[in-house]
Structure 1
Amino acid sequence: MKIARVLALLPLASAFVITETDVFQNIEKTGREVIDQTQGVFEKTQHVLDDAFAKAVESVKEVGDKAYHRIHETGCDVQSWLEGSSFEEFMDVSENPDHPHHRPHDKPPHHGPPHHGRPHHPPHHEKPNQTVYELISKSKYTTKLAKLIGDYPDLVDRLNSTKSNYTVFAPTDEAFERIPKHGKKPSKEFLEKVLLYHISPDFYPAGRVLHSYTIPTLLEPESLGHKQRLTVRVTLKGPTINFYSKLVAVNIFGTNGVIHGVDHIIVPPPQVATIIDLLPGEFSTLELALVKTDLLDKMNSTDYPHQGGTFFAPSNFAFKKLGPRANAFLFSQYGLKYLKALLEYHIVVDQTLYSDAFFDQSGDDDEKTDDYRHFHVDLPTVLKDKYLSVDSARYGPFVEIRINAFSRVTIHDGVASDGVIQIVSDVLIPPKTEGTKQMYWTGNELSVEDLKERLAPFVDESPEL
């Protein structure tokens, strides 16, 4: 059955590995063959941008106002995040004994180092002679974006500088028109954050975008400790950023970077706890558990500062797999202290694990760019002296992440302003020690006695967040 489902998805999966020209051939055709050959390079370059964005207009108009209003209010379309689990559930690549695991100095793999050299020329070898800001400011399809950027002189100077190569995910004017008119006018500080979240300090042409899981931006939230990242997915809607903003034009090159057109404004994401609250259909059991143990308040409170983190979030179905007796015990008055310890085993503080980047605020927080296809890392949880064993394997477009060699990350890289959410297929249960061996739970219905035995050492002395 699994093989049949995978075969049905292979045509869609191929979008990950086709070269950028083939993937985007329909939106990259800019009609340059009709350009008057006597026109200057400036006119040609501007025509490339305007024509590419012209193709995005109708695409943007097809998006409903209701969906966009939800994105504007919450900072993300969480339902699209759940629907964005394209292929991981169909693949099981981590059990291949022929591929040993490597520990990349606690840093996950990355598809090659950022490009810091001058960008490649656009198709037809038309050498760019304008910066990315000049291209945006002179296009008739990005007038609202250009006006907004113009309110921030430092940002204009940065996007005009040729000392770095930037990637700008540029929303069209039609994307701006979908912002709800009745709401309060955003502050200048918030608008600056929105702009910074559309810009990566690294060079990401279309091919590199497609082969990335997350992309760093210029936005750096205080409680995250590193640059806020965008999530890249190829879904049934096509290539998307943060699961809802579709790429509609790509590879418009300037002298200091590249521009990609998007059909939605990309709003900085909310906190982890807010995202969990927005998805009751998926996380109502988890949220109830967090509320009953007061952990939700701690996750939202400024009294417990942290620099990023990773929350391995079990779904309602994951809790159901524990069995009715274990759940009845955990949510009883007597079992709440065990429930709290269990939840603490899912929380990693100050260490943020993405599919392709890892930030450790307790030590070296530099991102490794070694191209490891397999890695292993042990993450310390809030539960005292207990670690999560994480193994990841990547084959082409697919990524498989296993926790404690058993539970799978089914939907990965739910970016948040204070960390990242990785949805797991099972509730994570601390191992118990028999002799010198660690005995991990492997998915059978858990008895109350076994659950208490595993959690009893932590119910009275679990450390605070």
Structure 2
Amino acid sequence: MRYSDTLLPFVATAAAIVIPDEATANQLVLDAEQKVEKTASSWRDHFCHGANTLLSSIEDTLDNAFDGPERQTNKLKGIVAEGLEIDIGSDITDFLDPSDYADGPHGPHGPHGPHGPHGPRGHFTNLTVYQTLHASNHTTKFAKMLDDFPEMIDKLNSTSANVTIFVPTDKAFEKIPDHVKNHKPPKEFVEKLVKYHILPDFYPAGRVLSSHTLPTAFEEEHLGGRPQRIRVSVGLFGVKLNFYSKVVYANLITSNGALHAVDSILVPPPPAKRLISLFPTKFSTLELAAEKTGFTHHHHHHSNSSGPALTGLTVFAPTNLAFKKLGPRANAFLFNTPKGLHFLRALLAYHVVANETLYSDAYYGHQKAPESGEVGESADGHFHIDLPTLLGDKHIGVDIARWHGFIRVKLNGRIGVAVQDGLAKDGVVQVVDSVLIPPHPRKHRGVWDGESDEGISVTELIERLEPFVQEGFEDENATEVEVDEVKQEDAQVEL
């Protein structure tokens, strides 16, 4: 088969439609042999070409994400859970030939079929997922791509366990620019892409609607071998995966699972650092802070490249608005004074959690959690966890309240997550509109909580971070004399 007819449409589309939480504009980095990497470099340049053409619309999508769609989405999911229906996946009406649909009690007109009194919306077939892909005239390109991977064929053809697939339609492959079609990608890359469309469980439409993220068959080594996930968004115009791929046909129940069709190919997300860099109008201050301080989560966690690799991250990414809330005096100190950079670096360290990935509805880590890995599954729908940050012994307390499809995430009891579940290759980005500052070592009341109109005083900022500036940065530490000098400078800044 020619990969240019299957994968590259896919990849180029991803480069052009990167969106906030599930950016797909960057290549999936392959940890393969050097010769494979050399081959990959040629097509990376091509599918990345032209990504800026839709940058303005991408930014508009991100702007909308900050204007409250999370709240709207949660409400819509709650409505669905109460029994009201959202019309999803109705763009295709002839997915299979009429003879391929099942008869009997689970057929289209049976009592448990889509048109019966007890059936879900959708259709039923006695075919397996794999057989269905080959029987439909809408999925011929993905079916051909799948045929190069016997392991996946067996999974989608077996009736011993249920599977679900989000299959790109043939029209999804037509979105590819012509200039990338003659570059053959590595087979390992294609295999990961195929697996990213498959869920190793039964996810009919109702279960998809009530989820924020879904685990795929693609096991990402940068997540400790755990499943990379797909982000679900519910809106007035239907259901989208990773914010850009719309479900155009839903709930075809097969003999071994479920099938849903999407209008764009899904590509595993880029690393968290790359994801954040895609949106300078939202995170330029955060990027500037990292550049000025030389902060990277990898270097901070282990300076020796031969040390243990990270197995997932949770990054609480403050927006430009979040830094603005600190106030002009605090920002002047942090960004414009030599001593302030030490405190800025400590502040960044408090926003990163290593080796624990916390999504709004799933947790990858070593702490005690529900056996399913799902969060918010307790009797009262509440899940609490204290995540260790890179700032010494300082933790972030996370409370996740879940009721049906509604999910609310609070940090340290006060600050909400503005945009949840920005999927990354190496973890997840949770966007916050207030900078997280470790609790005051002595005060418990009357301190800045992220929302004060006047921001935080430089004195209080120093008091909260001073122990870690003195002790936490090895050869970059500020000495006690330097800290005293900083306090004197701060007093002048505050005047």
- The TM tier, using the shorter chain, reads 0.7 to 0.9
Matching residue's letter, 1:83: N
Contact preservation (8 Å) 1:377, 1:390: yes
Secondary structure of the 1:228 match is strand
Contact preservation (8 Å) 2:13, 2:176: no
Taking the aligned partners of 1:122 and 1:411, their CA distance within structure 2 comes to 41
CA separation of 1:385/1:426 partners in 2, compared to 1, >3 Å: closer, same or farther?
same
* Per-residue deviation, 1:82: 5.5
Residue equivalent to 2:64: 83
Residue equivalent to 2:174: 177
Secondary structure of the 1:295 match is coil
Residue equivalent to 1:207: 206
Contact preservation (8 Å) 1:429, 1:441: no
Taking the aligned partners of 1:260 and 1:81, their CA distance within structure 2 comes to 26
Matching residue's letter, 1:441: W
Taking the aligned partners of 1:170 and 1:302, their CA distance within structure 2 comes to 42
Deviations 1:154-202 (A, max 9, x none): 1111111111111100000110121233233321111111111000001
Deviations 1:324-361 (A, max 9, x none): 11011111222111111101101011111111111114
CA separation of 1:432/1:446 partners in 2, compared to 1, >3 Å: closer, same or farther?
same
* Per-residue deviation, 1:70: 4.2
Residue equivalent to 2:349: 344
CA separation of 1:290/1:255 partners in 2, compared to 1, >3 Å: closer, same or farther?
same
Deviations 1:395-452 (A, max 9, x none): 44432211111111010001111000000120001111227x5886313211111101
Matching residue's letter, 2:169: T
Residue equivalent to 2:312: 308
Residue equivalent to 1:323: 327
Residue equivalent to 2:409: 401
* Per-residue deviation, 1:141: 1.1
Give RMSD over aligned pairs.
Answer: 3.1
Residue equivalent to 1:423: 431
Secondary structure of the 1:312 match is strand
| Unaligned stretches of 5+ residues in structure 1 | 1-64, 94-119
Secondary structure of the 1:124 match is coil
- Asked if 1:442 corresponds to 2:449, the answer is yes
* Per-residue deviation, 1:454: 0.5
Taking the aligned partners of 1:186 and 1:122, their CA distance within structure 2 comes to 41
CA separation of 1:297/1:396 partners in 2, compared to 1, >3 Å: closer, same or farther?
closer
Q: Which residue of 308, 331, 339 maps to 1:334?
A: 339
CA separation of 1:351/1:440 partners in 2, compared to 1, >3 Å: closer, same or farther?
farther
Secondary structure of the 2:218 match is coil
Contact preservation (8 Å) 2:418, 2:432: yes
CA separation of 1:439/1:196 partners in 2, compared to 1, >3 Å: closer, same or farther?
farther
- Asked if 1:149 corresponds to 2:146, the answer is yes
Residue equivalent to 1:69: 16
Contact preservation (8 Å) 1:309, 1:348: yes
CA separation of 1:428/1:360 partners in 2, compared to 1, >3 Å: closer, same or farther?
same
Contact preservation (8 Å) 1:249, 1:260: yes
Contact preservation (8 Å) 1:122, 1:253: no
* Per-residue deviation, 1:137: 1.3
Secondary structure of the 1:220 match is strand
- Asked if 1:371 corresponds to 2:364, the answer is no
Secondary structure of the 2:222 match is coil
CA separation of 1:422/1:82 partners in 2, compared to 1, >3 Å: closer, same or farther?
farther
CA separation of 1:202/1:439 partners in 2, compared to 1, >3 Å: closer, same or farther?
farther
- Asked if 1:461 corresponds to 2:471, the answer is yes
Taking the aligned partners of 1:318 and 1:218, their CA distance within structure 2 comes to 36
After superposing the two structures, state which structure 1 stretch, 439-448 or 258-267, moved more. Answer: 439-448
Secondary structure of the 1:433 match is coil
Q: Which gives a bigger RCO, structure 1 or 2 (Cα 8 Å, sep 6+)?
A: 1
CA separation of 1:343/1:89 partners in 2, compared to 1, >3 Å: closer, same or farther?
farther
CA separation of 1:313/1:376 partners in 2, compared to 1, >3 Å: closer, same or farther?
same
Residue equivalent to 1:12: none
Q: Map 1:280-319 to 2 at 5 A.
A: 280-296=280-296, 298=298, 303=305, 305-319=309-323
Matching residue's letter, 1:229: R
Matching residue's letter, 1:328: A
Taking the aligned partners of 1:331 and 1:285, their CA distance within structure 2 comes to 10
Equivalenced residue count is 375
Contact preservation (8 Å) 1:122, 1:251: no
Taking the aligned partners of 2:136 and 2:325, their CA distance within structure 1 comes to 54
| Unaligned stretches of 5+ residues in structure 2 | 1-11, 19-23, 29-54, 76-104, 114-123, 475-495
